[in-house]
Structure 1
Amino acid sequence: MKSAVGIMKQTTLPLVIADFKEITKVRLAVSVVFSSLAGFLLGADSINVTHLVLLALGGYCMVGASNAYNQVIERDLDSLMNRTKNRPIPAGRMSVTMAMAIAVCMTLMGILVLYQINAKTALFGAISIFLYTSVYTPLKTITPLAVFVGAIPGAIPFMLGWVAATNEFGIEPGTLFMIQFFWQFPHFWALGWMLHDDYSRGGFKMLPTGKKDEGTALQIILYTIWMIVISIIPVFGFTGKLTLSVPAAILVFIMGMVMLVFGLRLYRNKDNISARRLMLASVSYITLMQIVYVVDKFI
């Protein structure tokens, strides 16, 4: 009997942990935390380790809460799509009540933790949750403009780090916001292209033209160009304390051009393989670009 109970605990605990990671989208949350920490390092005159840890914890809570709310709201639609039907709620492994409890607890914890850094950081974190759950999520089945709305909370983390480090909002965090804002369009439209059929089953309108066509591919190219332009603006000295050396700007420009090449290939081929390559290139770009910015500051 004891051995049976032991086996059940061994099989249940990993499932509980796995479902918690799924309901909070741990990989996405970690990438968002990475952006916040990069912004913090760019803004900080000296590294406050306590604030760095609080930012990581509070940032994870805010992203986890947003994703949990999202999965509660979209639980019926998630059951229609192959990529989401095995999520904890539609698969029946987690109740709506439990998911809401996780979301509420993480919201309160996230705001409280970020408030320990400063009030502005907590405010922007709360705004991010509100926009993601109350505006972006319901708009996804109504209009492709949802992507524009979703790009706002998605762009906050990079900016949030600077605000956490300085307790100030100005041209510097505004520039970081714009970089990540424009980056999201080619990234999510490439993802939307790949998963267009699945998204359509759930009623989501993710592509700007509603189709996998030249219009969508052209917009991907245009937003990628804007992303590249904004990413190198700090080299010209227009962005206050946020600066970029010429060698770093050249490196960021080259990385952006590589991403643009993948966008041009999607325009030419109009296939899922090209969309996937663009999506992966966009993930590499945002990560490497932030690393370049941080390394450039400290060398």
Structure 2
Amino acid sequence: MSSSGVHTPTVSRLTDFKEITKMRLAVSVVFSSITGYFLGAESIDFVVVLLLAIGGYLMVGASNAFNQIIEKNLDALMDRTKDRPVPAGRMTVTRAFIIASVFTILGLIVLYIINPKTAMFGALSIFIYVSIYTPLKTKTPLSVFVGAFPGAIPFMLGWVAATDSFGIEPGILFMIQFFWQFPHFWALGWWLYDDYKKGGFFMLPTGKRNKGTAIQIVLYTVWTVLVSLIPAFGVTGRLYLTPVAAILILMLGLGMLYYAVNLYKKKSAQAAKKLMFASVSYITLLQIIYVLDKFIRQWI
């Protein structure tokens, strides 16, 4: 940025690139995949970790770019999205499409180098997100259910990348992130309800900020915590949690549940915002605890 405070073309292009690929979201997805890899790997191959990070970023970036092309007219109506590169007119649809297409091809190639199963799940993720979830967002609240499938793939994708197999372990990792997305996205939908309404998006299960939605948020929070604790019972193969780790996860879960119940009581945008941030903390800390628990057990 120059001293006058005006963006240089290079800085603007870099900012637009970060926006079109949703860099912060992509980095969180990559983090999720890498934690899944650490959980599944017998020994850490940092070349695979790098490939997973690059491939994961490319696939998420592609999904987001396609999404912003499809929703460009709706994004222009909402305060939180109207300044994105395509609706704001800083980037043409053609350029965005080229970025999305190149990212898709490169992402699949990179994931295929790891193993074909990883590439297959990556391809499935982008297909569901772009072709099914995105069009459904303006049609039905069930879009959140559909979107939870590609959203739950990254955590288990790491395990598949490490083992070249799909079984109970990656299945549980998938379930944790699958159930977690309901309280997370419904809290986001509640918080930004008015803005989403401008774009015609149906995010909440009942379509409204009411008692029915709040009850479902509480229920799905409970299910998220319960699924997160299943590995503590020794029924999920190589994926195992020690009692200490399980207690930590339970405490985190009770913290998230507190904010869900608080939303039920207050039914306010502020309470929803707090739950949304609590949910992000929950999934991030859960993944860190899972990985630390595995390696501490190996060291002891």
Q: TM-score range by the shorter chain?
A: over 0.9
Of residues 2, 7, 11 in structure 1, which corresponds to 2:8?
A: 11
Distance 1:46 1:248 in 2: 22
Amino acid at match of 1:45: E
Distance 1:161 1:214 in 2: 37
Of residues 100, 103, 110 in structure 2, which corresponds to 1:103?
A: 100
Distance 1:47 1:176 in 2: 19
Distance 1:148 1:40 in 2: 25
SS in 2 for 1:116: helix
Amino acid at match of 1:222: L
Of residues 281, 286, 296 in structure 1, which corresponds to 2:293?
A: 296
The equivalent residue for 1:131 is 128
Distance 1:178 1:220 in 2: 16
The equivalent residue for 1:78 is 75
The equivalent residue for 1:180 is 177
The equivalent residue for 1:141 is 138
Of residues 50, 57, 78 in structure 2, which corresponds to 1:60?
A: 57
The equivalent residue for 1:263 is 260
Q: Deviations over 1:144-182 (max 9, x none)?
A: 000000000000000000000000000000000000000
SS in 1 for 2:8: helix
The equivalent residue for 1:191 is 188
Query: TM-score, normalised on structure 1?
Result: 0.97
Distance 1:26 1:217 in 2: 30
Q: Deviations over 1:78-116 (max 9, x none)?
A: 011111110000100000000000000000000000000
Distance 2:269 2:75 in 1: 22
Q: Deviations over 1:227-251 (max 9, x none)?
A: 0000010010110110000000010
Q: Does 1:41 align with 2:38?
A: yes
Measure how far apart 1:10 and its partner are: 7.2
Runs of 4 or more above 3 Å deviation: none
Q: Deviations over 1:32-79 (max 9, x none)?
A: 000000000000000011100000000000000000000000000001
Report the count of equivalent residues. Answer: 293
Measure how far apart 1:224 and its partner are: 0.4
Measure how far apart 1:19 and its partner are: 0.2
Amino acid at match of 1:114: L
Distance 2:12 2:182 in 1: 34
Give identity over the alignment, percent: 65
Amino acid at match of 1:296: D
Unaligned runs of 5+ in 1: none
Amino acid at match of 1:131: I
Amino acid at match of 1:191: L
The equivalent residue for 1:114 is 111
The equivalent residue for 2:270 is 273
SS in 1 for 2:114: coil
Amino acid at match of 2:209: K
RMSD value, Cα: 1.2
Amino acid at match of 1:38: T
Amino acid at match of 1:255: L
Amino acid at match of 2:157: L
Distance 1:48 1:12 in 2: 39
The equivalent residue for 1:200 is 197
Distance 1:213 1:227 in 2: 21
SS in 1 for 2:56: helix
Amino acid at match of 1:173: P
Distance 1:200 1:90 in 2: 17
Matches within 5 A, 1:27-38: 27-38=24-35
